[in-house]
Amino acid sequence: MAESAKKPKMSKEERAMKRLCGDGFPKNAFNLFNKAIKIVSDKTLEAASSLSEEDLEKAKQILDHMLHSILFLGNIQATCYLPKYIFSDVEMLNRTMNDFPDAFHHYQTYVARRTPFSYFVELVTVCYRQENVMIPTVILILSELLSNCKKSGDLYPLISTVICICETDNLNYYGVSLSCESDREREIMTAVSCLHVWHPKVSSAVMSVFPEGTGNPRSIKLPDKVSCRAYAVEDMSQVKPPCRRCHELYSLPGPSENLNDPGNCAETEAISNLLHCQKGVDDKTTIAVGVYNDQEIRGKMTTCFNENMNKINMKKSKGNHINYNILTVYN
């Protein structure tokens, strides 16, 4: 009987790469970006595409920022996920590097402003905002995405657990929870968001109890006509009540007993997006004590950012230390 051919033995580096490529982070990163690329490609190829030239340019910019965010978050992991672990197919890696050179060039030196999933939801709203079925479309796309993603414990790495929709005058504004696996990443992205992304009233509310989790909250009060509804991404059939932190910071009624980390909840981004876009709502939104000034925000968030980056470097080998400045963001 002929002896079966033996498979060539993998090297130590090949075994490590195979293991890393199978982790939740690179697998979900690839699926998330691949799904985003497909959405834009499909909308562009439609015979009667609803995407304007302006929307198409916006979608391409979102893809670029989303990819940079994936690479940035992979780089700051204790186990560094290099681009070759996310795009394990060499041809696909080379094509992606050719299409989005800036993201690859800057991910080791420029800080991402938002999480990849936040960019993904924005992309969906840009590509489908002309349709009358926006919310069902978002639910369907997120359901399809989750079916191809990998869990790590109870969570999907890079995938937000909750989405929130703020509505006023028949206009919807979306937000997602911070999709960060560790406290270090979460605090880094919260600090960056407070300084560069969120509306000053939202940043000030979060900062009043962040990062310590204690203090006198600067509570926001939205106009009565604004509604906020949150849903678990895994099951969007039922509305989730706000946590006690969202009740404390945003005066949202009917809270649960959960007390989530400041800034982590989907309500934070949704309310910020609403206030950025609706000046009339912003004018009627009050905040206890008032907002922090720019210098206060920059000082406190820079300290928080640097402390967490230092803690990440303590877990990395000396040759793999990272060096980022919160003031140097990818725009």
Is 325 a domain residue?
no
Whether 85 is covered by a domain: the verdict is yes
Same domain for 311 and 178: yes
User: Which strands form 162-168's sheet, in the order they lie side by side?
Assistant: 171-176, 162-168, 227-232, 235-240
Q: Decide if pLDDT at 11 tops 70.
A: no
Task: Tell me, yes or no, whether 171 and 240 share the same domain.
Answer: yes
Q: Which residue has the higher pLDDT, 45 or 4?
A: 45
Is the pLDDT at 140 greater than 80? The verdict is yes
Answer yes or no: do 129 and 167 share one domain: no
SS3 261: coil
The answer to whether the beta carbons of residues 297 and 203 sit under 8 Å apart is yes
Q: Are residues 139 and 174 located together in one domain of the fold?
A: no
Mean pLDDT lowest among 5-9, 169-173, 315-319: 5-9
Asked whether residue 12 carries a pLDDT value surpassing 50, the answer given is no
Contact 329, 196 (CB under 8 A): yes
Tell me whether residue 198 is in a domain. Answer: yes
Band (pLDDT 50/70/90 cuts) for residue 14 is very low
Q: Quick check: is 155 in a domain?
A: no
Residue predicted with more confidence, 143 or 25: 25
Which DSSP string corresponds to 204-219? Answer: HHHHTTTTTS-S----
Q: Are residues 186 and 232 in the same domain?
A: yes
In a domain, 321, yes or no: no
Q: Output the pLDDT for position 137.
A: 82
Read off the pLDDT of each residue in 117-133 and give the average, rounded to a whole number.
85
Q: What is the mean pLDDT of residues 177-205?
A: 96
**Exposed, middle or buried by CB within 10 Å (0-12, 13-18, 19+), for 219?**
middle
Range of the domain at 31: 14-150
- DSSP-derived pairing of the beta strands 162-168 and 171-176: antiparallel
Mean pLDDT is lowest, of 62-66, 132-136, 197-201, 204-208, for 132-136
247 token code pair: 């009740």
- Mean pLDDT of the region 253-260: 96
End-to-end CA distance of the chain: 64
Do 32 and 146 fall into the same domain? yes
Q: What is the pTM of this model?
A: 0.92
For the cut 90, the answer to whether the pLDDT of residue 28 exceeds it is yes
Pick the more confident residue, 283 or 8: 283
Domain edge (last residue) among 126, 150, 174:
150
Query: Within this chain, do residues 127 and 34 fall inside the same structural domain, yes or no?
Result: yes
Lowest mean pLDDT among 22-26, 62-66, 108-112, 276-280: 22-26
Per DSSP, the three-state class of 300 is helix
* Structural tokens at position 282: 């912003």
Q: Are residues 199 and 139 in the same domain?
A: no
- Do 169 and 135 share a structural domain? no
User: Is residue 328, in this structure, part of any structural domain at all?
Assistant: no
260 shares its domain with 165:
yes
Q: Which of residues 101 and 18 earns the better pLDDT score?
A: 101
Tokens of 268: 């934070």
Q: 296 and 184 in one domain? A: yes
Q: Categorize the per-residue pLDDT at 19 as very low, low, confident or very high, splitting at 50, 70 and 90.
A: low
Rounded to the nearest angstrom, the gap between the alpha carbon of residue 251 and the centroid of all alpha carbons in its chain is 24
Domain boundary among 125, 150, 175: 150
Considering the domain architecture, whether residues 204 and 112 belong to the same structural domain is answered as no
Token pair, residue 216, equals 């006198």
- State pLDDT tens for residues 51-99: 788 999 999 999 999 999 999 999 999 888 999 999 988 999 999 999 9
Counted domains in the chain: 2
Mean pLDDT, rounded, for 268-278: 98
Task: Concatenate the DSSP letters of all residues of 78-143 into one string.
Answer: SS---HHHHS-SHHHHHHHHHH-HHHHHHTTTSB-SS-HHHHHHHHHHHHHTTSTTHHHHHHHHHH
194 burial (CB, 10 Å; 0-12 / 13-18 / 19+) is buried
